[in-house]
């Protein structure tokens, strides 16, 4: 038993070399397999009536742009990227509406504080675009105005009519 030796790894190496040769052959012949698949698909009519058939490929003739995919994403998704100063102006104009959608005072306070943090970050950061004229909001004054608008909305809502009295099952006809 002491004379037992581990199996000779030479057959594994031979199998490994054969598999590498087969893989190399497959890689070399892959283009012909792909061509065969395309020809068969054409014969079946898989490429007939595709959208854009007979039309030039959009943007093919223009000069090379390495960021073409970003431009297409912005156009397709209609993403608007504004400088911080302009975005903050828009956000300041819409802040009261955003606050009115907040159900609790804690959430409204968080929205105002986040807005103020963005204004301060833009103020102390490197300026980009037009000058920043948006001021931070006083949190307590803004929340007082939010409370007043909330109470006004509550007063404007008519009370729910009382539901009809329920009749017991044994008194029903």
* Domains: count for the chain: 1
The answer as to whether 90 is a domain residue is yes
Q: In whole angstroms, how far apart are CA 103 and each of 138, 152, 161?
A: 20, 15, 24
Q: Which residue numbers in the chain have pLDDT < 70?
A: 1-15, 59-62, 171-173
pTM of this structure: 0.51
The answer as to whether 126 is a domain residue is yes
The answer as to whether 20 is a domain residue is no
pLDDT computed for residue 7 by the predictor: 52
Question: What is the extent of the structural domain holding 150?
Answer: 84-154
The answer as to whether 168 is a domain residue is no
pLDDT computed for residue 13 by the predictor: 52
The answer as to whether 163 is a domain residue is no
The answer as to whether 52 is a domain residue is no
pLDDT computed for residue 1 by the predictor: 47
pLDDT computed for residue 14 by the predictor: 54
pLDDT computed for residue 57 by the predictor: 73
The answer as to whether 107 is a domain residue is yes
């Amino acid at each position: 038993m002491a004379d037992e030796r581990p199996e000779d790894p030479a057959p594994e190496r031979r199998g490994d070399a054969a598999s590498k040769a087969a893989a190399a052959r497959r890689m070399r012949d892959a283009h012909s397999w792909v061509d065969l698949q395309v020809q068969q698909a054409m014969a079946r009519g898989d490429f007939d009536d595709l959208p854009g058939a007979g039309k030039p490929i959009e943007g093919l003739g223009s000069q090379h742009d390495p960021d073409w995919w970003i431009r297409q994403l912005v156009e397709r998704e209609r993403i608007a990227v504004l400088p911080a100063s302009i975005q903050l102006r828009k956000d300041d104009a819409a802040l009261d509406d955003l606050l009115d959608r907040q159900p609790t005072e804690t959430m409204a306070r968080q929205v105002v504080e986040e807005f103020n943090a963005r204004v301060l970050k833009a103020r102390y950061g490197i300026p980009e675009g037009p000058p920043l004229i948006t001021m931070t909001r006083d949190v307590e004054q803004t929340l007082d105005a939010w409370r007043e608008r909330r109470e006004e909305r509550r007063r404007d809502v008519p009370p729910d009519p009382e539901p009809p009295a329920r009749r017991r099952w044994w008194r029903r006809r």
